Amino acid sequence: MSPRKVRLVADALRSCTVDVALLQLGKLPHAGAVSLMKVIASAVANAKAKQAAEAALRFKTIDVMGGPAMKRWRAVSKGQAHAYKKRMTHIRIVLTDEDNKLTK
């Protein structure tokens, strides 16, 4: 998934709580929503392991960065080929707990 597609979804979630963000991601038709939902679910599970209350979790930062790009070729007419890149994304989510000031 390209960073641009995921960043469009992430920008809409920055001001939401974690519960609201997961509900919104379930309804979005964007392909980046699935990847973002998995990362948020993992971050919530990590915060729960540190005894954080799920209702108090908020986003401190959501970073969507470009990862490596695989170079591929597509065959075109007259024996030629055009190059394109299959882009990858690094997603980093930092949650904060309003009550205990826990940062994950």
- The number of domains in the chain is 1
Whole domain around residue 70: which residue ranges? 3-97
What mean pLDDT do residues 72-92 have?
Answer: 97
- pTM score above 0.75: yes
Token code pair at residue 70 = 């695989």
Give the model's confidence band at 51: pLDDT under 50 very low, under 70 low, under 90 confident, else very high: confident
Backbone dihedral angles phi then psi of residue 72, each to the nearest 5 degrees: -130, 165
**CA nearest 24: which of 92, 36, 73?**
36
Residue 102 is assigned to a structural domain of this protein: no
d(CA 27, CA 100): 31
Residue 103 is assigned to a structural domain of this protein: no
One DSSP character per residue, 62-95 reads: EEEEEEEEEEEEEE-GGG-EEEEEEEEEEEEEEE
Residue 86 is assigned to a structural domain of this protein: yes
Q: How many residues does the chain have?
A: 104
Q: What is the CATH number of the domain that holds 37?
A: 3.90.470.10
